[in-house]
Every structure is written in C-alpha cells, then in structure tokens.
Structure 1
C-alpha cells in the first residue's frame, strides 16, 4: 500500500500523521510529540493510544522518536509523499509546492522572520528526504491563506521602499484557517459566506477576519511575533521598546531570545507557558498572565469585527481554543453588544455550538495535517 506522511513542526510540538495515498486521503494513524523541552511526551493515537515519556527532547530528537514509532506501521507500506508545514512562504509561495533544492534555498531566507519554526520546518524536510528519498516532498505554507488580503492590512506605515522590499504583513496559521473555512463551507455554508472571526489559540495564537472564505485581516504580521500574546512570544509591542533594549546594549541575539522564548505567558507568569499549568496554579502571576491573555483576545476580537463591519460567526480552534472552556467564557463575557453570548453548559463540555445569542459561536478542532495531506495527494494525482 502507498501512504503519505505529514510533518507539522510547531514551536513546542511536532504533529504527524500517516494517510492512505488515495485521491481523498484516508487517515491510518496520527500523533504528536508534545511539550518539547525538558519533559516531552510521544503520543501515537492507535487504539488504544500509546504514550511514552521522552525526557529532554528537541525537534531533531522528536523526529527520530516519531520515525522509530512509525517503523512497524510503515512496514510493508511505501511512503510516496511527505507533506510539510512551512511557516513562512513570503510573497513568492502562495500555494503548495514541491520542495526542490532551489525552493528550499529560497525558504531559508525567511528563517530570521520565523526563527522558532522555519529552521525546524526545513530540518524536517532534510530528514524526510534522507529517510524517504523516493517520495515527493511538498511544502504547505502558513502565510499562503492570507495572500491577497487588502493592501491596508498588508502594509506598514513605513517608507514605500520597505514594502517593495517585502516588509509587509504576511499573517500566519494559514493551514488552520484553511481547514476551518473549508469545514464551514461543508457544514455551515451560510456562515462560510459571511463575516467570520476565527481565533486560533494555542502555544502560538492569532485571530483572522474572514469574509466569504478569504482572509481580510490578521493579528499577525511580518513575523510570528505580532498580535496576541502567546506561550513564549510577546505579541503586539511598541517598537520603542526594541529601541530601548538596543540603547541598553542588548545584542540582536539577546533581544530575539527575549521576544521569542522568554515572553508571552512564560514571561508574564515567570514559570510556565502552558495554559493548563497556569490555570491550576494559585500564583498571582499566573492569574495576571491569563488576565492579559484574555484582555488581548477581547481587544482583537473587537478589531477583527471592525475590519469585517460586523460578525456573523466566531470560531475557536487550537489547543486552548478547543479545550479551555474557562478562557472562552472569559473572552465572551460582556460581548452581548456584538450578539455574542455563551451557553455555559454547552461550553463546559466543549460542544461544537456554544452560543445562546444571535451570533453563532463554534468550537471546531482544527486539522492542519489533513490540509497538508490533501496538498500532497493533489500533487500525486493532478
């Protein structure tokens, strides 16, 4: 049997899936290495699921563990295609492409714009090429969903020469938004044709304003730092803070580490980037970190609604968006003026529809792996 493999390297996890290589990919097994760092865990969603603590694990070690776990599953099966999540495609890559050496070289230029992701994404490509030399390698880009959004959401108020040189708002989490909009088209076509705000809330977090299935606004911009606070990333920041850091003698490397790895929920709480840990803590700093996280989501929800000129539906997705009922409740509290109100019981059980007001509020588990698998299948079956 011919199969497809998908690899989705995030900042704190590596998700993977194996699909039957059909025109419509059929899932065989999926899983992830979660909690990259000092205490990672491998989960393979067999029946029953298998779980194994890996201890200190980086992205390279995670891939090694994944391939070892998949060895018996892939026995007797040929991997004919491997699909990769690539966070940054710049302005040139707005659709899935085969990852040839020339393409890979071009994508390496975007490493400074997504240092938590792009190096690991490309390392996965190199390892997959070595492990499966005869398989086609396809890259799918988080920035692609936002290609073509309005100029006012694409530019910064800098001299024009910077925009022409590619300094613009690209937007991210596009694979997740692609899946959610496709799911809405299939299940709720009347909502898909309207004004939808999608909140992708996980270790990385952003929000997207979607009209008729197309991105018209995003909280993220030139890099994956902007907008909402995240697990370890700062979110929106006055550029004057960076000038201040430079004046204090901080190096580029020190500033990069602070913004990408020491900020967000981690920096505000002082001890964890994991929402589950923060919610279980009685440390007042954890409560303050959550307060700020919720405040920024509420602020950006209002902004995205303004971009759309109203709201016909709100969708929560991502690890926090799908599972943290308390966070959803706090975001929606007092939002009746937008037509948003929650059914407390439905919200507590993470139901798909959790609204009591006139504007639907949905909780939809995202599936970036399926988006990637479909792209690989399309390349194999043009």
Structure 2
C-alpha cells in the first residue's frame, strides 16, 4: 500500500473547493493559500506557515504531473499589528490531486527560526527541494543549518514501506531536542546537533502520524490521521514517556494536530468528520479537549478544514481554517472564544 503524504492529501478523490469564514471579529489573519502551522514566540508574535498554492511549473511525479512553484513561506503578525508581514518567502510549494505540500511548521528559539519543509525524500543537498528543517538566523534570516530528513528516509526507510518523506510537524523539547512527525515515513524522528537525525519510533501499520508536541513534564504526544478509508473513530493520540507508550486516546477522527497546554490540557484538531463519495466532508472539522482519562469534549464544531492549533500567553486558542481543499486566498487564522 502506497504511503499517504502529510496532510492526508494525496488521494485521487474528487474534492469540492469550499470556503467558510468565521465571524469577522474572530479572524486574525486571512487571505492565505493553504495555512498549516501557527506558533507564538515569547514576545507574543504570531507565526503563520502557508504551504502556498503550487505554481505554474510542471514536473513528473509518482501520481502524475506535479505543479510546483515558490509560493510557500512564513508570515508574522506582531502584537498590535493589523496586518501580517512576510518573514520568509519563496519556499517551494507542490500540488496535485488538489493537494498542496510545502512549508509545514515553524518554531523559534533564542537564536534561530526553524522551518519544516515537507517536500519528499530525494537525497540531495538542496534545502529547498527535499524534506528537512531549515534554521535561519533570527536577526539576519540567513540560513545557518539544514537537517536533511529526506536523506534519512532514503537511507533508512524505517517503516519498510515505500521511500517517501513528508514531515508534517515538529516540536522542540526543553533540552533542545527537536522531534519530527513524518507522516509518509510513518515515523517519529529526533534531531540534536550532537547526534543528528535519529529514529524514535516507526509504525508499520500505516497510521500516518501527523503531529507531535512535548509537554512541560517531557512527555511526548503524537497524533495520527489513520489510514484509508479514514473511518470515524479510527484516529488516535499517543502519549510517550521515556520512550515507552503509556497512554492511547482513541475514538478520534482525522487528527492533524495535537497541542499540550501549560496546564496539561491536551487539545486536538480533527480536520473533518470523514470521507464521503465526493471526498473529505467540508464544514465538519472540530477542536476537542482530551481529559487524562480519555474523555473527548468538543470545544468548537462545524469548522471548514481546520488544521493547526496554538495558544497565546493569555491562554486564548487560535486555529488555522480553510487549510486544504479550499479556494485560493480563503485560508485564515481564527481566534477561539476565551473559555
């Protein structure tokens, strides 16, 4: 069975482009193409990763022609600003089967901005054409490091399936370890400057890991999409402590992000309620809270293809909306009501 790309996106299903807008006073950023991750730094600046909208160049691919261009990038919205500004632009974006991959995630440390690229498993040295993490100097925005995740997949193929890499999410632990969920690689990876890329866990049942987060106590949470046909209740979130699986939260659907708040609350984004005859069901995404004993509570429902969640210093949650299968320029970041 062929692996599924990050964002679940490479199925030859008919998808109806849909756009649904939240209440105007809840929209923080709009006009995006395919918004994926959002992130707040210590200063309260919001970072928004946009996977772009492909491009007008074409190349052959395993599933047919690939349209590509350099429309992906990272935007920022500083506290008090009314409009976002482009921080890093011109990153590769690829699309076919109405699916888009490109920049997937961002994280900020004291000296660097880390951008995750989800672009395949080609073993080459071009940081803009293979899956990996690009570190940019926080002041100059010059590239200072590149972690080649595509090469790791090509050399190791941890799940013993086809060689495909589309890392979808990353999290930086308090000790500086970077964890990466590779959706197509069906693996959780880690990286440190001393040890390079290491395999933490590979799943051979094709559950499609979509996101990873590290709690304040060091616990690692991994979310899963599940495999085709993406039946309701077949997705899950796993909790790992010291390399051991200690808890599994089941009965979830199409989970694309997991986030652990400072108070220990676990949040998950369910992109859609499932797949119908015409593709992923629009306007059926949800944000849920998961209690320590596995009780799932809907917080927000009827969202159109939500994808990623973040929390500001005041505890307010934000979600990307119209993150896939939507008309170009309809992508948004919305603020959820406090409480």
TM-score, length-scaled by structure 1: 0.28
Q: Which has the larger radius of gyration?
A: 1
Question: Counting helix residues as a fraction of each chain, which structure ranks higher?
Answer: 1
